[in-house]
């Protein structure tokens, strides 16, 4: 029987939202669909992009905007890609240093992460510092084409802070963020878990808001695949998505949270202590160690309807690329982006049938 | 004769970096700078202002580096290697070997290609060396295990060394296993059963 399995090689970055791929392999969902799933851990998104482009990987864990950037030729080694399935919703947060948090709290920042309140508190801090000729504020994100970059920029801009003039935004690998905060190289960052909890547990940082508050139930990572591979292997891709949908449902069951934590913290995956992974996986995310309240729906996995991509999500990412001058707007590109985030392959694979009208996107400041 | 091209090699692995450096110097490149330390990398690059940057793919700072190339005003704009799609074979060879490179925009590809080919071949040579070393270590460890297993059999069954080896070999053949696997399980078993 084993010889009948079709091999699929997938790249991933050691983050909590690689869970669906990891569970598909470890819990046997991939094998049940006839797939021998091989997971290859990578050290940068640049490597993921390069290795999927040259065909080392069949599919990959990807930042949702990456297949768009690759298809629109905005990065090197660009190839036409698809994002046929969403691997997780939410999961990111904006963390600031304890020093910056004290200043923000003095300016009335909401203790429970209301993005409008924490954003305007930060704007007041920047004004106050400007008058005192204080040092500028520097934020880190993991990649220029990432949900992290766009969420941070959206939050700043909504409070009247120009992300390119009033603060500095730099790129840093996720696992280095918490240390950079401690060392004073960064004043804050937007990153996925477990790297916010890493600063919270170390008591060097505080979460001020999160992706779930800025843009509720929004996609963070997607399954990335080249159009070429998807066209050549439609049945394998369909089987893989069925396996991953079942894996996502397994990941979302609170009864499996401990088991999932145990697997993900293992040496071949995140290789980290369970204490920093547990908050997001077990629904215990807190703004800091003393916070009484947990953050609801911080990171969610789900198969079925929820994991279907939405063209409107792709278009939101594209709008941000245009807004921040990474891309030049054209109607053709809007169409292409919509097709990259088309739910049709996923829905067909799961036999979900056609969906009615697409819901509109609502962010925290949408009237 | 100097090529006039300055090359920055970013690699945590000091031995591999010096192997590349040697190759580049032999090929007439005098301006080769090695960087192992990631702290302050951006400033270092701005100071050095290299024409070509060679970086190993295990380095987690590639995303940061690429971002810096996009936004920096202090550094000449390096772009990813082989942006020309016709170079797909070179791209594959480099990614296979575990190396990537960035080249200052405008530098003629005829001048850069030999540098990249050199880096790729030296990366490969290093991987081969590392693999050989690993194999040699394993082989030595295997031989030690087989010797121990032979010793156990000689003692417990009163066999000669040759007879002990024959017994291991026969057992392995009959069970379609490797001699080393039989030897290892014999060592574990006798360890468990020893008084």
What pLDDT band is residue A256 in, cutting at 50, 70 and 90?
very high
What pLDDT band is residue B190 in, cutting at 50, 70 and 90?
confident
pLDDT of residue A261: 96
What pLDDT band is residue A1 in, cutting at 50, 70 and 90?
very low
More confident residue, A121 or A296: A121
Is the pLDDT at B59 greater than 70? The verdict is: yes
Instruction: With beta carbons under 8 A apart, name residues in chain A contacting B92.
Output: 54-55
Instruction: With beta carbons under 8 A apart, name residues in chain B contacting A55.
Output: 92
Average pLDDT over residues B126-142: 85
Q: Two tokens at A96? A: 């600031």
CA distances from A37 to A23, A67, A71, A78, B170 (A): 11, 21, 25, 25, 37
Instruction: With beta carbons under 8 A apart, name residues in chain B contacting A60.
Output: none
Domain covering A92-214, topology: D-Maltodextrin-Binding Protein; domain 2 (3.40.190)
Domain B7-131 carries which CATH code?
3.40.50
Element (H, E) at A52: helix A45-53
Residue B161 and residue B12: Cα distance in Å, rounded? 47
pLDDT of residue B194: 64
Query: Cα A139 from chain centroid?
Result: 17
pTM, two decimal places? 0.85
Q: What are the tens digits of pLDDT across the range A281-310?
A: 988 899 999 887 888 899 999 899 999 999
Instruction: With beta carbons under 8 A apart, name residues in chain B contacting A53.
Output: 91
Q: What are the tens digits of pLDDT across the range B146-158?
A: 999 999 999 988 9
The verdict on a CB contact (< 8 Å) between B63 and A46 is yes
Average pLDDT over residues B76-82: 61
Average pLDDT over residues B133-162: 90
The verdict on a CB contact (< 8 Å) between B63 and A171 is yes
Cβ-in-10-Å burial (0-12, 13-18, 19+) of A227 comes to middle
Is the pLDDT at B162 greater than 90? The verdict is: yes
What pLDDT band is residue A2 in, cutting at 50, 70 and 90?
very low
Average pLDDT over residues A187-202: 95
Q: Using CA atoms of A184, A187, A192, A194 in order, give the dihedral in degrees to the nearest 10.
A: 40
Average pLDDT over residues A2-7: 78
The residues spanned by each domain of chain A are 2-89+219-271+300-350, 92-214
Residues written for chain A = 367
Place of tokens 């910056």: A100
The residues spanned by each domain of chain B are 7-131, 134-193
Average model confidence (pLDDT) across chain B: 83
Domain covering A2-89+219-271+300-350, topology: D-Maltodextrin-Binding Protein; domain 2 (3.40.190)
Of A51, A53, A173, the CB nearest to B63: A173
More confident residue, A193 or B111: A193
More confident residue, B128 or B87: B128
Is the pLDDT at A206 greater than 70? The verdict is: yes
The verdict on a CB contact (< 8 Å) between B60 and A176 is yes
Q: Which CATH class is domain B134-193?
A: mainly alpha
Average pLDDT over residues A247-251: 97
Q: How many CB atoms neighbour CB B14 within 10 A?
A: 10
Percentage of chain A lying above the pLDDT 90 cut: 85
CA distance B68 to chain A (A): 8
Instruction: With beta carbons under 8 A apart, name residues in chain A contacting B59.
Output: 43-44
**Which of A41, A77, A183, A184 to mutate against chain B (most B CBs within 10 Å)?**
A77
* First CA to last CA distance, chain A: 56
CA distance B91 to chain A (A): 7
Average pLDDT over residues A214-238: 97
What pLDDT band is residue B138 in, cutting at 50, 70 and 90?
confident
Q: What is the ipTM of this complex?
A: 0.85
Tell me which chain B residue has its CA closest to the CA of residue A54: B92
Least confident window among A76-80, A102-106, B7-11, B168-172: A76-80
Q: Two tokens at B37? A: 């330390």
Least confident window among A33-42, A204-213, A259-268, B18-27: B18-27
Is the pLDDT at B84 greater than 60? The verdict is: no
Ranked by mean pLDDT, the top range of A137-151, B71-85, B131-145, B162-176 is: A137-151
The verdict on a CB contact (< 8 Å) between A173 and B64 is yes
Q: What are the tens digits of pLDDT across the range A357-367?
A: 677 889 999 98
Average pLDDT over residues B165-182: 90
Residue A303 and residue A339: Cα distance in Å, rounded? 21
Of B57, B70, B80, the CB nearest to A77: B80
B40: Cβ contacts below 8 Å, ≥ 6 apart:
none
Q: Two tokens at A194? A: 């477990």
The verdict on a CB contact (< 8 Å) between A143 and B63 is yes
**Which of A50, A57, A141 to mutate against chain B (most B CBs within 10 Å)?**
A50
Order of strands across the sheet with B78-80? Answer: B32-35, B7-10, B52-56, B99-104, B78-80
Which residues of chain A have a Cβ shorter than 8 Å from any chain B Cβ? 43-47, 50-51, 53-56, 75-77, 142-144, 170-173, 175-176
Q: Is B105:B14 a contact under the CB 8 Å cutoff? A: no
Instruction: With beta carbons under 8 A apart, name residues in chain B contacting A48.
Output: none
């Amino acid at each position: 029987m084993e010889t009948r399995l079709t091999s699929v090689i997938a790249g991933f970055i050691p983050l909590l939202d690689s869970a669906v791929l990891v569970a598909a392999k470890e819990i046997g969902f991939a094998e049940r669909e006839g797939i021998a799933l091989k997971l290859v851990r990578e050290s940068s998104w640049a490597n993921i992009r390069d290795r999927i482009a040259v065909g080392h990987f069949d599919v990959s864990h990807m930042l949702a905007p990456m297949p768009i950037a690759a298809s629109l030729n905005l990065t090197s080694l660009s190839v036409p890609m698809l994002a046929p399935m969403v691997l997780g919703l939410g999961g990111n947060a904006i963390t600031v240093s304890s020093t910056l948090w004290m200043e923000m709290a003095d300016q009335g920042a909401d203790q429970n992460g209301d993005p409008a309140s924490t954003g305007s508190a930060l704007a007041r801090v920047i004004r106050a510092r400007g008058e005192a000729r204080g040092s500028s504020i520097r934020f880190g994100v993991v990649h220029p084409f990432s949900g992290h970059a766009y969420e941070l920029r959206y939050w700043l801009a909504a409070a009247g802070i120009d992300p390119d003039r009033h603060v500095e935004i730099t790129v840093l690998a996720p696992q280095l963020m918490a240390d950079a905060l401690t060392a004073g190289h960064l004043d804050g960052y937007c990153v996925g878990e477990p790297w916010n909890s890493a600063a919270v547990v170390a008591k060097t940082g505080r979460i001020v808001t999160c992706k779930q508050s800025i843009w509720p139930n929004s996609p963070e990572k997607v399954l990335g695949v080249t159009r070429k591979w998807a066209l050549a292997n439609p049945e394998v891709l369909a089987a893989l998505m069925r396996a991953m949908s079942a894996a996502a449902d397994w990941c979302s069951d609170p009864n499996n949270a401990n088991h999932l934590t145990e697997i993900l913290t293992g040496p071949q995956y995140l290789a980290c202590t369970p204490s920093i992974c547990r908050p997001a996986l077990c629904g215990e995310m807190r703004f800091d160690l003393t916070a009484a309240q947990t953050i609801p729906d911080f990171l969610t996995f789900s198969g079925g309807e929820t994991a279907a991509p939405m063209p409107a999500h792709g278009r939101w990412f594209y709008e941000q690329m245009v807004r921040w001058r990474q891309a030049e707007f054209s109607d053709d590109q809007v169409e292409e982006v919509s097709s990259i985030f088309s739910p049709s392959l996923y829905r067909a694979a799961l036999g979900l049938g056609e969906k009615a009208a697409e819901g509109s996107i609502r962010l925290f400041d949408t009237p | 004769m100097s090529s006039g091209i300055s090359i920055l090699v970013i690699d945590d692995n000091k031995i591999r970096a010096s192997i590349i450096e040697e190759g580049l110097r032999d090929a007439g490149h005098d301006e080769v700078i090695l960087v192992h330390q990631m702290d302050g990398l951006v400033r270092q690059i701005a100071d050095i202002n290299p024409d070509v940057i060679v970086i190993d793919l295990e380095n987690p700072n590639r995303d940061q580096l690429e971002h810096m190339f996009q936004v920096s005003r202090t550094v000449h704009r390096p772009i990813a290697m082989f942006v020309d799609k016709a170079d797909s074979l070179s791209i594959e060879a480099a990614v296979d070997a575990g190396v990537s490179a960035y080249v200052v925009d405008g530098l003629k590809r005829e001048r850069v290609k030999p540098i990249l080919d050199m880096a790729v071949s030296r990366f490969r040579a290093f991987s081969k060396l590392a693999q050989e070393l690993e194999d040699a270590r394993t082989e030595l460890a295997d031989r030690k295990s087989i010797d121990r297993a032979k010793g156990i059999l000689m003692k417990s069954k009163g066999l000669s060394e040759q007879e002990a080896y024959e017994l291991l070999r026969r057992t392995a053949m009959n069970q379609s296993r490797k001699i080393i696997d039989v030897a290892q399980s014999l060592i574990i078993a006798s360890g468990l059963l020893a008084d």
